């Protein structure tokens, strides 16, 4: 049980000893949610998703690409009663992850870009444990709950818009006038009836900056996103080969994409999150792209322990690194790419060969140069290529030292 929860229950009159009004229960819930790190916490009645029709059209057009879980959960996503029969309310929670500034170290072209949401620890684990606290809190008042963050069969943005957590931006991002777009959503479906909040007005106006900023044209019209073109989908969800035509448009992005978020003027008001777990990890700050290519499976797991990046495994991550190098790399990256072209994982090898071709044609390097001189195949590992494993070791050694010091 969290310290926050204990404090709240000590203050509260037990529900079975003393009836409290729905309004009072909601007030206590909101302050408890705030205390454990959520902001805002709002409520909507548990009804059919207002844009279920648009969601079904999106599936019908194949806008979800290979995300078959979206189809499997179709009925439940449209009707939350199918998720928790008898649910009366949906508590919508938001958690700010804005870190301020830019990812530390190096120039973006040399190091690759990772979407903000993945700079630090995995939000699923962190938020799920806080949702367990909310569940525990509501159980005290006789509620039965189902809690979700991202992975559940719920159209999260639809219910969040109903609760007034924000409005549906043209980028499809939910926008909150105080937080901008840099926040995660989570929902608690509950059998308790709580007073609903009001939706907020759409404040996009005539702006279309997100649509113009999208490098791949994935936002095909306001509120419509073709995931098959979205860099976030291509670098995270897609398991196989990245379509050739889209590779050059990915630029130096190696995990996710923030362009339509960064372009949104509502992010001018974003405040830095009070949750430090989302801060960028020192292990990956300023790592030259080519150095990632020397990671073994074990080193990859260590480097991205508790990070959202671990999900795509070494094969997916190195595939993305090859694409980024193909777009922004130069002749100094060829040696590392030649080694990756011989990787036992065919997905990595294929993307590395593509990257080599891109660099050669961009810099006018003849394919015979490396072969004749042996400069490329036999090139020693660059000094930097040793730094990733060393960084990992240093980090965990430091971690270990710090932990043992604090436990003294
Ligand atoms: C599948 C998915 C993806 C896919 C598809 C995204 C998409 N737009 O559909 C991909 C992999 C591309 C993706 C990318 C990202 N995702 Co995502 N994703 C999801 C997931 C699992 C489902 C989304 C979904 O249902 N899509 C189906 C389409 C039809 O729904 P939708 O795009 O949300 O559209 C809604 C509105 O646009 C509205 N609508 C439709 N038509 C119309 C018309 C009008 C006029 C209006 C007003 C509204 C409207 O209704 C739809 C249903 O609610 C949710 C979690 C969840 N369970 O909901 C997270 C989620 C949406 N993702 C999230 C994040 C953070 C991201 C990224 C920023 C990550 C990154 N940096 O790389 C990008 C942002 C890309 C973008 N512009 O959306 C957050 C968004 C938080 C927020 N503030 O909005 C969520 C909610 C996860 C979470 N729990 O925090 N994601
Ligand atoms: S996340 Fe990137 S690729 Fe996807 S819609 Fe937004 S700007 Fe386009
Ligand atoms: S960039 Fe403009 S149109 Fe796009 S979501 Fe933000 S305010 Fe709306």
Q: What's the N-to-C CA distance of the chain in angstroms?
A: 25
Taking the CA of residue 210 as reference, the ligand 2 atom at the shortest distance is 7
For residue 76, count other CB atoms closer than 10 A to its CB.
16
State mean pLDDT over 22-29.
97
pTM value is: 0.91
Q: 213 C-alpha vs ligand 1 centroid, how far in Å?
A: 17
pLDDT at 5 over 50: no
The reply to whether 333 belongs to the active site is no
- Residue nearest to ligand 1 atom 43, measured at CA: 223
For ligand 3, the distance from its centroid to the CA atom of residue 116, given in whole angstroms, is 18
Q: Which two tokens stand for residue 206?
A: 């005539």
Burial of 133 (0-12, 13-18, 19+ CB in 10 A): buried
- Compute the distance between CA of residue 349 and CA of residue 355 in angstroms, rounded to an integer: 10
Q: How far does the centroid of ligand 1 lie from the alpha carbon of residue 331, in Å?
A: 38
**180/167 Cα distance (integer angstroms):** 10
Alpha-carbon distances, residue 78 vs 55, 72, 162, 213 (angstroms): 8, 12, 14, 30
- Predicted confidence (pLDDT) at residue 221 exceeds the cutoff of 60: yes
Ligand 1 centre to CA of 173 (Å) is: 6
Q: Which of 199, 205, 209 is nearest to 164 (CA)?
A: 199
Q: What is the dihedral of CA 206, 198, 40, 92, to 10 degrees?
A: -100
Per-residue pLDDT at 207 exceeds 50: yes
Report pLDDT digits (tens) over 331-371: 999 999 999 999 999 999 999 999 999 999 999 988 765 55
Distance CA 229, CA 321 (A): 18
In this predicted structure, the answer to whether residue 324 has a pLDDT above a threshold of 80 is yes
Q: Which ligand ends up closest to the CA of 225?
A: 1
Residues 172 and 166: their CA atoms lie apart, in Å, by: 11
Asked whether residue 209 carries a pLDDT value surpassing 90, the answer given is: yes
Report which protein residue has its CA nearest ligand 3's atom 8.
Answer: 204
**What ligand has the least distance to the C-alpha of 211?**
3
pLDDT of 109 > 60? The answer is no
What are the pLDDT digits (tens) for 152-192?
999 999 999 999 999 999 999 999 999 999 999 999 999 99
Distance 402 CA to ligand 3 centre (A): 44
Domain boundaries, the chain: 1-279, 288-408
Atom from ligand 3 closest to the CA of residue 260: 1
User: What is the pLDDT, as a whole number, of residue 1?
Assistant: 39
How far apart (Å, rounded) are the C-alpha atoms in residues 94 and 92? 7
pLDDT score, position 118: 97
Degrees, nearest 5: CA angle 237-240-246: 80
Structure tokens that stand for 276 in this block: 């430090």
Place of tokens 């990671």: 295
What does the DSSP assignment read for 107-123? -HHHH-EE-GGGSSS-H
Task: Please give the pLDDT value at position 368.
Answer: 66
Q: Which atom of ligand 3 is nearest to the CA of 222?
A: 3
> Which residues' Cβ are closer than 6 Å to ligand 2?
213-216, 218-219, 225, 230-232, 257, 259-260
Geometric angle at alpha carbon 175, from 230 and 149, rounded to 5°: 70
79, 125, 150, 297: the catalytic one is 150
* 148 strand-pairing partners: 187
For residue 42, the model assigns a pLDDT of 98
**Which tens digit of pLDDT belongs to each residue from 248-307?**
999 999 999 999 999 999 999 899 999 999 999 998 888 999 999 999 999 999 999 999
Residue 285, CA atoms < 13 Å, CB-side half-sphere: 10
């Amino acid at each position: 049980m969290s310290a926050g929860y204990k404090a709240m229950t000590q203050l509260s009159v037990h529900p079975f000893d003393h009836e409290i009004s729905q309004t009072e229960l909601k007030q206590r819930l909101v302050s408890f949610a705030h205390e454990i790190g959520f902001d805002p916490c709002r409520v909507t009645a548990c009804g059919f998703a207002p844009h279920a029709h648009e969601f079904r059209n999106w599936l019908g057009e194949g806008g979800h690409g290979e995300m078959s879980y979206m189809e499997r959960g179709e009925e439940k996503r449209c009707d939350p009663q199918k998720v928790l029969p008898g649910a009366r309310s949906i508590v919508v929670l938001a958690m700010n992850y804005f870190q301020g500034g830019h990812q530390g170290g190096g120039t973006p072209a040399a190091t690759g870009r990772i979407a903000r949401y993945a700079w630090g620890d995995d939000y699923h684990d962190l938020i799920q444990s806080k949702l367990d606290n909310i569940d525990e809190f509501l159980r005290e008042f006789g509620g039965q709950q189902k809690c979700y963050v991202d992975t559940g069969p719920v159209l999260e943005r639809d219910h969040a818009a109903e609760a007034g957590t924000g409005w549906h931006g043209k980028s499809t991002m939910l926008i909150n006038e105080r937080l901008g777009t840099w926040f995660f959503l989570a929902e608690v479906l509950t059998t308790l009836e709580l007073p609903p909040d009001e939706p907020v007005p759409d404040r996009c106006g005539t702006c279309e900056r997100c649509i113009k900023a999208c490098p791949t044209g994935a936002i095909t019209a306001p509120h419509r996103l073709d995931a098959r073109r979205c860099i976030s989908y291509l670098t995270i969800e897609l398991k196989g080969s990245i379509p050739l035509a889209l590779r050059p448009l990915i630029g130096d992005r190696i995990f996710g994409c923030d362009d339509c978020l960064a372009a949104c003027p509502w992010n001018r008001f974003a405040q830095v999150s009070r949750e430090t777990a989302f801060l960028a990890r020192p292990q990956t700050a300023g790592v030259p792209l080519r150095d990632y290519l020397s990671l073994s499976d074990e080193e990859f797991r260590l480097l991205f322990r508790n990070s959202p990046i671990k999900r795509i495994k070494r094969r997916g991550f190195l595939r993305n690194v090859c694409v980024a190098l193909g777009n922004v790399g130069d002749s100094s990256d060829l040696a590392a790419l030649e080694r990756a072209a011989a990787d036992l994982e065919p997905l990595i090898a294929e993307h590395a060969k593509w990257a080599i071709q891109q660099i050669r044609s961009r810099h006018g390097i003849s394919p015979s140069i490396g072969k004749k001189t042996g400069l490329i195949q036999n090139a020693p590992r660059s000094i930097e290529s040793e730094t990733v494993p060393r960084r990992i070791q240093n980090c965990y050694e430091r971690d270990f030292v710090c932990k043992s010091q604090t436990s003294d």
